[in-house]
């Protein structure tokens, strides 16, 4: 197959081979002796839209299932998932997008498991938290019952068909149908005990939903009681009114991923959710890090003057933010001094967790953390996997990792 740009050269590529594409990542891992370091990727993705024929039969409601399956069938016209406009592949410059379907997976395991293991092995990632791709926009679905059905079907498929074939190396925080609080609660009760479920994830592209609504409290309580993690995963929504004046994907992407986490994190903190659920680990995913000091400073500044509007708070908003967890990617490595100060403000040594976001266009390698000269060894081990090992109760995969987990107090017993 040829990759060709209209105004460029022909590049002949026989097929995508993730192992080959990431050969330099494997070199990095070897040079840095990552084998002895447990590395956990708390945000990696697969393209569930490529397996809808496997997923949709898990829908429960016959009428909605008929609508969804018919829409997917040859000649079907409608999309069943909200689609967002975007150019993630940068006009074909990020070649794994146009080449994706050419990758061969001759093994017995599910295709997504085989491909996943290739990038994990290249990066020396031991465990990956697998998230969907298209479903990150599920919060924009106009029908809450369809959202609940699609999340249900995906969660069953993932826990029954995909993760069991990963040799325990994939886990997930399952997608919650947040537009329907009762359905979200039911899915926590139904799936919370399943193998590989480390928690539940709310897609934050939901401009009109308040995370403080009373209807959600039983769901948060249920997640907390089970010792699981509640995460919020951001995304872009170029078509949404806030971003309609952005004329470049760069702008909508940079702002969108930050904005939706800023919005819901602010509501979470100001409404005293940290006081209501002090034992619930909460994680904010895929917004990078630059927004965190911004929100900390803005909220502390306003709270100082207006405590009457946040009466549940017993400490500064930034203190609650430092109680929560954040994933690294896409880490803004453009100004080391600013980045170092961001790490300081958020207590990165204990609150930050490495994420690759692979195979998406702006993925980060473990070296983005390991190579920061100002990070202590303990911080590197914690961020790359130790903190996640504690949160998700993940065991070491070799003796070297065990020693390092013990050394930094991260061995789960």
Q: Which is nearer to another protein, 26 or 310 (CB)?
A: 26
DSSP secondary structure string for all residues of 222-289: HHHHTT-EEEEE----TTSGGGTT--SHHHHHHHHHHHHHHHHHHHHHHTTHHHH-TT--EEEESS-S
Out of 81, 292, 365, 405, the only residue in the binding site for another protein (CB under 8 A) is 365
CA geometry: angle 199, 201, 206, nearest 5 deg: 160
The yes or no reply on residue 96 touching another protein (CB under 8 A) is yes
Closest distance of CB 120 from another protein, Å: 16
The yes or no reply on residue 363 touching another protein (CB under 8 A) is yes
Out of 362, 395, 397, 400, the only residue in the binding site for another protein (CB under 8 A) is 362
Out of 17, 95, 267, 271, the only residue in the binding site for another protein (CB under 8 A) is 95
Q: Which is nearer to another protein, 23 or 85 (CB)?
A: 23
Out of 47, 212, 249, 361, the only residue in the binding site for another protein (CB under 8 A) is 361
The yes or no reply on residue 5 touching another protein (CB under 8 A) is yes
The yes or no reply on residue 195 touching another protein (CB under 8 A) is no
> What is the three-class DSSP state of 201?
strand
- Cα separation, 124 vs 146, in Å, equals 38
The yes or no reply on residue 368 touching another protein (CB under 8 A) is yes
Strand partners for 103:
none
Nearest C-alpha neighbor of 235 from the set 286, 173, 174, 201: 286
Let me know: does 205 contact 237? Beta carbons within 8 Å: yes
- Cα separation, 163 vs 133, in Å, equals 16
The yes or no reply on residue 21 touching another protein (CB under 8 A) is yes
- Cα separation, 303 vs 309, in Å, equals 8
Out of 209, 318, 364, 382, the only residue in the binding site for another protein (CB under 8 A) is 364
- Using the contact rule CB under 8 A, the part of the chain among 180-188, 283-291, 338-346, 355-363 near another protein is 355-363
DSSP secondary structure string for all residues of 324-357: SEEE--S--TT-HHHHHHHHHHHTHHHHEE----
- Using the contact rule CB under 8 A, the part of the chain among 25-33, 287-295, 336-344, 402-410 near another protein is 25-33
The yes or no reply on residue 3 touching another protein (CB under 8 A) is yes
Give the DSSP letter of residue 176: P
- Using the contact rule CB under 8 A, the part of the chain among 88-96, 287-295, 304-312, 382-390 near another protein is 88-96
Those residues whose C-beta lies under 8 Å from the C-beta of residue 225, and which sit 6 or more positions away, are none
- Using the contact rule CB under 8 A, the part of the chain among 41-49, 89-97, 236-244, 394-402 near another protein is 89-97
> What is the three-class DSSP state of 42?
strand
Q: Which is nearer to another protein, 5 or 312 (CB)?
A: 5
The yes or no reply on residue 86 touching another protein (CB under 8 A) is no
Residues at the contact surface with another protein, assessed by CB under 8 A? 3, 5-11, 21, 23-25, 27-28, 90-96, 361-365, 367-368
């Amino acid at each position: 197959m040829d990759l060709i740009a209209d105004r460029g050269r022909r590049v002949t590529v026989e097929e995508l081979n993730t192992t080959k594409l990431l050969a330099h990542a494997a070199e990095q891992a070897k040079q840095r002796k990552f084998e002895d370091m447990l590395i956990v990727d708390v945000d990696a993705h697969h393209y569930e839209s490529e397996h809808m024929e496997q997923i949709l039969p898990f829908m429960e409601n016959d009428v909605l299932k008929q609508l969804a399956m018919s829409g997917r069938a040859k000649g079907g016209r409608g999309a069943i998932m909200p689609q967002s406009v975007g150019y993630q592949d940068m006009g074909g410059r990020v070649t794994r997008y146009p080449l994706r379907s050419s990758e061969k997976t001759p093994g017995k395991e599910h295709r997504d498991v085989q491909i996943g293991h290739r990038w994990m092995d290249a990066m020396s990632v031991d465990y990956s938290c697998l998230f969907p791709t298209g479903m990150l926009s599920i919060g924009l679905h106009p029908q809450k019952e369809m959202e609940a059905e699609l999340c249900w079907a995906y969660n069953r498929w993932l826990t029954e068909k995909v993760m069991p074939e990963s040799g325990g190396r994939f886990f997930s925080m399952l997608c919650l149908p947040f537009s329907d609080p009762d359905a979200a609660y039911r899915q926590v009760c139904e799936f919370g005990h399943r193998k590989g479920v480390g928690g539940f994830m709310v897609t934050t592209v939901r401009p009109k939903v308040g995370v403080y609504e009373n209807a959600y409290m039983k769901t948060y309580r249920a997640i907390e009681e089970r010792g699981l993690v509640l995460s919020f995963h951001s995304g872009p929504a170029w078509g949404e009114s806030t971003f309609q004046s952005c004329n470049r994907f760069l702008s909508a992407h940079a702002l969108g991923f930050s904005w939706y986490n800023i919005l819901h994190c602010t509501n979470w903190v100001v409404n005293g959710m940290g006081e209501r659920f002090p034992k619930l680990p909460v994680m904010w995913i895929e917004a990078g890090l630059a927004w965190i000091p911004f929100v900390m400073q803005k909220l502390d500044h306003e709270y100082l003057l207006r405590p009457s509007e946040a009466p549940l708070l017993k400490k500064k908003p930034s203190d609650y933010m430092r109680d929560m967890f954040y994933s690294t990617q896409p880490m803004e490595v453009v100004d080391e001094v600013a980045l170092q100060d961001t790490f300081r403000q958020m207590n990165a040594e204990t609150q930050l967790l490495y994420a690759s976001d692979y195979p998406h266009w702006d993925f980060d390698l473990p070296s983005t953390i390991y190579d920061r000269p100002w990070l202590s060894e303990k911080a590197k081990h914690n961020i790359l996997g130790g903190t996640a090992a504690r949160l998700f109760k993940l065991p070491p995969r070799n003796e070297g990792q065990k020693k390092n987990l013990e050394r930094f107090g991260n061995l789960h017993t």
